Every structure is written in structure tokens, then in C-alpha cells.
Structure 1
Amino acid sequence: LTVLTSQFNEIKEENKKLSDKLSKMKVELLEYLRSLTSNTDSAANKVRRGMSFEIDDCKFHLEAMTRPDYQPLVDNKRIIEKLQERITLMNMELITEREHNEKIIKDIKDEVETQCGENRNKETSNENIEYDSLNDEMEYQMYLFTLYCNHPVTGEFMESILEVHKDELLPTVLDKAYELMKLAPHIPIERCRLVKYHYVDDLMEQSFDLDEFQHQTIGQIVGRASRYYPFGLFLETCEESEISDKYHDGANNIMISVVDVSTGKGPAKPMRVEEGWTVRELKQHIGEVYSLNSSCMRLVMKNYNDVTDISDVGCTLEEIFRKSTHEDRQVLTLIL
């Protein structure tokens, strides 16, 4: 369409130049003819008539070119109309193709987002599984102990929950227990220690002294991996000049009542004994505590509704206590 328009404009420009040229020639010819009007049969007159015919013929063609039914113009218009129709169809095809391409791009984006969403969900699921696994592993490595303590000022029996990691050293665990029970500034931490404690039996089973266990972790000390333990920890305190006795695993607490045949039964007092002791070793220990002669002692133990004389028994306390209940083994009567 652009080429045809350009050609049409060139034709119009040439026609205009030709018309101008003819007009100029006509003026020159008229001037020349005026000079020859006196001789009509002359060669110049004949030339003038011939040129006049040519000029009229040019006028005829020029007038024909300006009419709507001029064939070259009709052909050009027809070509232009066909080109316009073709351009319209091509525009429609381009629009359809563009819409199709946009739909394909949208489908690709949706598919990519779907895949990314699935990957994100999968990654999130994997992260959650890994997080839960880490939580389970971390939880498995955390130990929970019931912590007990007698307040050094008020004497109040306190109880709390101590949570520590299995790889924490004993001094670190002691620091946490000290802070948990809020013993500062009533007593320095140097006068505190942790003891394996059975609340039901009221038994200090084993002391964890720093001179022996300071380089061991709580996991190494308690022995087995478990979230909860059947025993607790007792935060034991002592006086400034007091030296705490070491408690060994396999000990027991008993109540000793001293009976003098002349004065009657005395009050029961607690005593810690080792289950590996023999009765003879028990007598020696009682003699040291009460400043008594062990050879003059008789020991009797309550057994259900009866009492048993164990003074001359040759076995260990563990074997004796194995046949009795906890309540029975707590009461031993020393007869002088």
C-alpha cells in the first residue's frame, strides 16, 4: 500500500510538471504565432496548427486522468483495497497468534508455580521432618530430674524440676541446681553438692562429690539414657566447718532406738548404713556414733508384727533387709 501510494504521488507530480510545461509552451507558442499571423499558409502557421492539435490531445489526456473512471486509477484503487483487506486479515491473524502465545506463557507460568509450590511443600515437609527428628533427638538428650533441697535458712523442704543436657559436666549441673533453688546469697555454692536421692524411701543413695566426678558428664554419672529417672537429685548443704560424708551406691537409711534396761527406750535417730556391711560392722559403726562398746549390744529388728534378734547373724545387711519391708528395716532397736 505504501509503495502504490508513493507511485501514485509520483504520477501526480509528473502530471503537474507536464501541465506546467504545456502551459509554458502554450504561452511561448502564442507569442510566436502573434508574430506570424500575417501569413496563414506559411510553414510557421502549419507548425502552430500541429502544435495546437498536440496541445489539445494533452489536455484531453489530462482531463481523463482527473476523472474517477480513469482506468489506471481504478486499477490502483482496486489494488489498494485488496491490500487493505489483506492487511486486516494479517492483523487478525497476528492478534490471534499473540493471544495464543500469551495463553502458552500463562500456562507455563502456572505450571512453574505449581512445581515450585510442590517443591516448597516437599521441602517444607522435609524440613518439618528434619526439625521434628532434631527435636526428638534433642529431647532424648535432655534429662529431667526432680530436684529437692532443704533451705539453709528457713529449713523449708523445696522441690523443683531440673532439666539438663546429658553432655553437661557435673559442675555445670550443680550451678544450674544452685540457681534453680535460689540459695544465693544464703550459702555459697562451695558448700553444696548433688546427691542421688529416693524420695519415697527418703534415702541419700550416692553423693556426687566434685573431687571425684567433676570431669564427668551427668550422662556418664547416671549411666543410662532416659528422659525421666526413677530417682531425684538432692541439693545437699553443709555447715562451714562441716565435712560431708561420702554416700556410696547401695546404702540405706535406718532408725536407731537405744534402749537402756534401767531407763527405758530412747528416741529413734536416723543413721545411714551400707548394705554390704555385716552386723558386726554395723555394731562398730553404732559404737563410734554413740560412743558405746559394740560387744555389749543387742540388735533387734521389727519384722511384721514380731521382732527378730540379729545381734549374732553372720550375713550382710543386704541379705537381712531383702527379707523385710522398707518400714521394718527402718526400725532397729539397740538394747544395752
Structure 2
Amino acid sequence: MDGWSGRIDPSITGDARRWHQVVQPAAANGLAGVAMLGFACDEGIRRNGGRVGAAAGPVALRSMLSNLPVLNETPLYDAGNVACTDGDLEGAQLRYAGQMSQLLDAGHLPVGLGGGHEIAFATYQGLAQHLLHGQKAGHPSRVAIINLDAHFDLRKQAQGSSGTPFLQAIEHAAQHGLALEYFCLGVSASANTRQLFNTADAHSVYYRHDDELTLLSLSQQLEQMQSRLDSVDVIYLSICLDVLPAAMAPGVSAPSARGMPMEVIEPLLAAIAATGKVAVVDVAELSPPFDRDNSTARVAARLIHRVTHAIQRANEV
């Protein structure tokens, strides 16, 4: 498996293992665990007029995840990468969705490693395949997509891109009878046009601006969000790294002028994980060519490490 290597500590009085020592290739009939699936793609960024480089994101993320400590006995799997090398974004998204659906069917918590935010429509399609199969068996689900992002990504374009995935998801859900709510947390007023705000309002998107989500207001904001999530059955959590301040996350397609600090983001993720409803997570927009000392990749790895552990703890309750 590419990208998994790191230090090995002597084990004297306890568990000194790191992720690279326990991760294994995803295989059929394995115990349910956390399964990472890379989307090595920035075709959507190219179509959206951004600076490309995110196709190298999955390798960089694995490198930073490798040395993180093992916190529990849940198996860790690497399901490999789906790449887009020929410009056929739609085909790559369908291949990724098929693998994602299989991981969900097997009981895993899939973690998507991006790649541009076009990963989001691929992740959503995989979740939809999984859930719609369950609905045919008589188990309808209400889904919330929670996107931590400076951008709505609700563009209406002739071709899908990194700017369209959540409108594509909303439209797909409506066409297939899947109840879907979209939450966008960390929206920047200086990075979204009035048209995008109008689109969000037209689709009843629950959103909060970056300057609304502060330490002073966090308790109230968490209460409001949690009350909205009470009626939801399944959560798809997407983390776009440009939701962070540019000084902390320079290695993204579109760095933020303000962003939200980790002091706000981590409690948000903890509250979302504590619902026990998170079925799938992905991290998007890591662009290693623009990173400094792997700082963006390190932050992304920390967030994956924390949120997957929190989700597992919530599922044990």
C-alpha cells in the first residue's frame, strides 16, 4: 500500500502502535472498521477555474495519517484510489461511488481522501446507492449533508465541477425520492455571489457565515444545529480545507481570507460525531503543490484522526 510508513516506537508498558502499523488492504468479509478511499482528481477544480494540484492529495494525506497513534481496536483499511486521468470526471465519480457503496454495505465508516471537492458528488452518489437499496427493503432514511466550507458549491453549470456537487446532490435526491437537507457551515460572504446565496435560500439550505461561528456564539450555534439534526437519520460529513484560515491551510485550491479556527471547527466536528448518525466522511481540496511544510496535510490528518475516533465512540454507546 502506497504512502503508509513511519516511525515505530518501542512498546514497554502499553500500546505504542501508529496507523501505518495497523492499516491493511480492504478485503471482502473483513470486520467493520474505518476504510479510507482516495479520489485522486482535480478535474473538477480545472473545470471550475481553480488552481489544480489536488490529485496529489490522497498520497499526502496517507503520509500524514501514518504516524498518528492508534486510539482503539477498530480495524483500519485502505481501499486504494480512484483516479481521474482522462478528463472523464463523471466516470471517475461513478467508479468511486460504486466502491463507496460497497464499503457502506460492508458496515465500514468510509473516509474519502481528496482530491478536489468534486469528491462530494461521488461520495453522495455512493451513499445514495447504499440508502436507496435499503429503502427498497422498507427502510427510508432522512439524510443531512453537513459541509464545512467557505463556499456553497451550489453552482449551476453545464458540466459538473468542484463548484457544483451539492446542487447535484440536491437535484439527484429530489429525482430519486431521497429526503435530503444541506447544511453549509463557515460560508464566506466575500467568496460567494448573490446568486449562490439565492440558490441556497431557494433550496432551504441551513448555513452559517464564518464570522457567525465564533467561540462566543458556539454554544448557541451548536444547540440550533443539533435541534435540526434530531429528525435526521444519516449524516454525510464533508470537510473542505479552505474553511480554515489561509495561514493554517495554505495548500488548497482557493485559500480563505478569514476562515474558521480549529478552536471552532473541532467542537463542531465533535458535536456532529456525537449524534451517532455519521455514515461517511470526506476531506477535500488538499493541494500539496501549494502546501508549506505539509501544514495543510497535517491539519487534515488531525481532523480525520479526531472525527473518526469520535464517531467510533458515539457508535459504541
TM-score by length of 2: 0.24
Structure number with greater Rg is 1
Higher relative contact order (CA 8 A, sep 6+): 2
Q: Which has the higher helix share?
A: 1
TM-score by length of 1: 0.23
